[in-house]
Structure 1
Amino acid sequence: MYSVTQRISKIKQPRGGYIKRKDFTCITLEDGIELNSQENIHPSLIGLVIDYMTRFCMGTPKETAFHISILGAKIAKNEFVAYKLLSKINGLDTESIISASKLVGYDVCYRAGMAYFKPVSEITPDTNTITNIITMIKRTLSFWEQYGPIIKDGFTFEGGYTSIISAGDGDYLTKDTLWDLKVLKEEIKPKYTLQLLIYLIMGQHSVHKEFKNITQLGIYNPRLNKVYIIKLDAISQSIIDTVSRDVIGYGISSEELKELHTAQLDELKKNFFKTPIQKSSPNANDSDDYLDKKIYGYSSKKKYMSVAFPPKIIDESIYEKEPIFWSGNALPSIITQKNLSYIVRFKACFNLKKGKEPFVMNKTSFLYPFNKALTTSDIYDSKSKKYYSQYLDKNGNIVKSKPTLILTSDDFKLFQELYIVKDLEILDGCYFL
């Protein structure tokens, strides 16, 4: 339903935050270097470059360190450019930093969608920015020499996701500390300390046994060269219980969950597209109707687009065309005859092929993580920590783990290339004329 950061943006914390900044021990690491005051690329890109380049400099293969960037490039269909940039990343030299800065520009395609993507050719860090990035990477490497070694990095929380938070990944674990890297011009804020606490709690619920040994939380900011640490016994159990239930959703009632889903849907319709109503658009009689046809996937029953919209629609010309709905276990022949764009709803059993990157996302079932790329249709059971190809439905019948997916024509073809697909059952869809 939400990523960790999306969920935090919806939470009104107590004054000062669930964990107050004053409760952290703050340590300044002196290196005698003052950063340049001006930079010419977005701070979020700088943060990603420092994070990924630090991992690479510490021995992580660059394909692994920049794997989110590569996934984003695949969504943008710019793999060739991405791998060319990756080949130019070799160390803390100017060409490597420029290439890394451009490459992380693809992250947004994976994390937020193509609507937020800007050509990476426009990302051109100047000398001041490059110098600052190199300095902050060196600071981070020095920090890990003192506070490491790292035992796990770039981890997700399988077994710890809920019906409210279905995506999010942590930065680093050392033997006894959960760390987050934040490249900030200011002191840490409540949203950052809450993020770290959420990672801790979800980690404790996840498959990662390393979280059993965590005794403190830490944030390192290479821009200010400051370390913030708090011991877990300084955080009250009541705070942990409140965040576990009210923020993450462990133990939340079905009625409360339904209210959250309704609120998210209302917000999506209100904010996803702020384009004013265009009376010239087909069937656009009011703002709700316009928004439905603009942002939702489709619904063969209601003849408009459903909340389970596809992850991306590259062919934006379809918005100017008429959707023709069909139902039945086959694509209409006119699609291939006229090479038409379409959206299809189907069920399938599938497993990711070896060496391929997952991309297909569940948006319709609580049996799978929401907005997280799936590697298999098998259902993960957090109690047994196993995947199952069958489950009991509400009537007690044994049925196959066969999620309903909604994809555009391009993604439907890609899905069949990257995954081993069995028992494909096309339900319905629409093509555009």
Structure 2
Amino acid sequence: MVIGPDGCGFDMRSPSEMEADDARREADEAAHAPRMAVTSRIRRVAQPPDGYLPLSLFDEVRLADPVPLYAFEDVPADVTGLAVDYLSRVARGVPARDAFRVPLAGARLVGRSADAERLLAMVDGFSDRSVRAACLLCGFDAASRRGPARWRAGRVIDPGPATVYNVRRMVARTLRFMDRVGPVVWEGFTFDGGYTDRVTSGDGDLLTADGLWDLKVSRWPPNPTYTLQLLVYWRLGLHSTHPEYLRVRRLGLYNARSDTMWSVPAARIGADAVRAVERDVIGYADGL
């Protein structure tokens, strides 16, 4: 670069040299961009007031299990949700080691594999001992999904009778829901080939023949973060190497605590919202 008399710089490189330097800089910025899972990425996104995918677009169906749950649980809500999810998979015939693969990986990262294996050996159905072991095992999930630094020993206590009852009942509700929307074609679906520098990992809950579903146990109705998660999953799937996503015709949420499902036909989702999410949230160069 040459500095002129007015203090301005003149780049004397050839156009090809400048293009090559720009390409190297972009590659370096991509290599050092923040790495994060879907759930981490969507929490950092500023959405429109009602979200990119407003709940008002969804159809709501209450399944109304007449058997109530206890109001209080003594383990964190995310652990309850994971236990319901993984035990539901076991109930459908998935080997426990496969269903609990994420917390098992987390336990290895924090040097607690022996404890995790001991708990896994107790997961053999829906006895009190099995449900308690599942909850304790799910405590290692955060070490895998968020990194060992985010895991805290003792965060999950041995759950009491009310929590065990609630988990067992929510598993039963989830299985009934799956029978209603099935057949289930893929549990724990991933997005190989679709990840980007902004979304580097993530896996979802449930693919049926024509639907993509996320399972929740929140005490509150779905919020814009939940609906954005669905939209991101769908678009990641369509950019992935898995043809199963080409058959998705609706996106949905099921909350086992309220026993309620919300779903939206994919055709009802606006192209502008899809384009913005692909470009600004996921990081594809050209939305759509």
CA distance in 2: counterparts of 1:230 and 1:109, whole angstroms = 33
- Number of residue pairs the alignment of both structures matches: 253
Asked if the contact 2:139–2:155 (Cα under 8 Å) also holds between the matched residues in 1, the reply is no
Tell whether 2:125 aligns with 1:88. Answer: no
Please say if 1:57 is aligned against 2:101: no
Match of residue 185 from structure 1: 219
Of the three residues 118, 126, 137, the one matched with 1:103 is 137
Q: Equivalent residue of 1:125, what SS?
A: coil
1:143 aligns with 2:177: yes
Q: Which amino acid aligns with 1:235?
A: I
- 1:217 matched to 2:251? The reply is yes
Q: Which residue of 2 aligns with 1:34?
A: 68
Q: Name the aligned partner's letter for residue 24 of structure 1.
A: F
The answer for the alignment partner of 1:152 in structure 2 is 186
How far does the alpha carbon of each residue in 1:54-77 deviate from its partner, in whole angstroms, 9 at most, with x for none? 000100000000001110111111
1:69 equivalent in alignment to 2:69: no
How far 1:120 moved relative to its partner?
A: 5.1
Runs of 5+ unmatched residues, structure 1: 253-433
- Specify the alignment match of 1:244 in structure 2: 278
For the pair 1:10 / 2:35, whether they are aligned, the reply is no
The alignment partner of 1:229 has SS state of strand
8 Å CA contact retained: 1:102, 1:121:
no
CA 1:204–1:40: 2 relative to 1, 3 Å: same
Instruction: Using structure 1 for the length normalisation, give the TM-score.
Output: 0.57
Q: TM-score with structure 2 length normalisation?
A: 0.85
- Secondary structure at 2:104's aligned position in 1? helix
Aligned pairs for 1:314-325 (under 5 A) are: none
Aligned partners of 2:198 and 2:282 also within 8 Å = yes
Distance in structure 2 (CA, Å) of the matches to 1:67 and 1:12: 32
Task: Tell me if structure 2 keeps the 8 A contact 1:103–1:120.
Answer: no
Give the CA deviation at 1:114.
2.4
CA contact (8 A) 2:206 2:212 kept: yes
- In the TM superposition, residue 186 of structure 1 has moved relative to its aligned partner by 0.5
| Letter of the 1:27 counterpart | V
Aligned to 2:161: 127
Conserved? CA contact 2:139–2:156, under 8 Å:
no
Distance 1:10 1:117 in 2: 20
1: CA distance, partners of 2:86 / 2:225: 22
Q: Alpha-carbon deviation of 1:81?
A: 1.3
- 1:173 and 2:207 matched: yes
After superposition, the C-alpha distances for 1:71-112 in whole angstroms (9 at most, x for unaligned) are 011111111111111111111110001100111111111112
Counterparts of 1:152 and 1:121 in 2: how far apart (Å)? 31
Structure 1 moving runs of 4+ over 4 Å = none
Q: Structure 1 or 2: larger strand share?
A: 1
CA contact (8 A) 2:185 2:207 kept: yes
How many Å apart are 1:122 and its aligned residue? 5.1
Q: Deviations over 1:37-64 (max 9, x none)?
A: 1111100100000000000010000000
Which structure shows the bigger proportion of residues in helix conformation? 2
The structure, 1 or 2, with the larger RCO (C-alpha pairs under 8 Å, 6+ apart) is 2
Q: Equivalent residue of 1:167, what SS?
A: coil
Residue 383 of structure 1 is matched in structure 2 by none
1:122, 1:217 → 2: CA distance? 32
Question: Using a 3 Å threshold, how does the CA distance of structure 1 residues 25 and 139 change in structure 2: closer, same or farther?
Answer: same
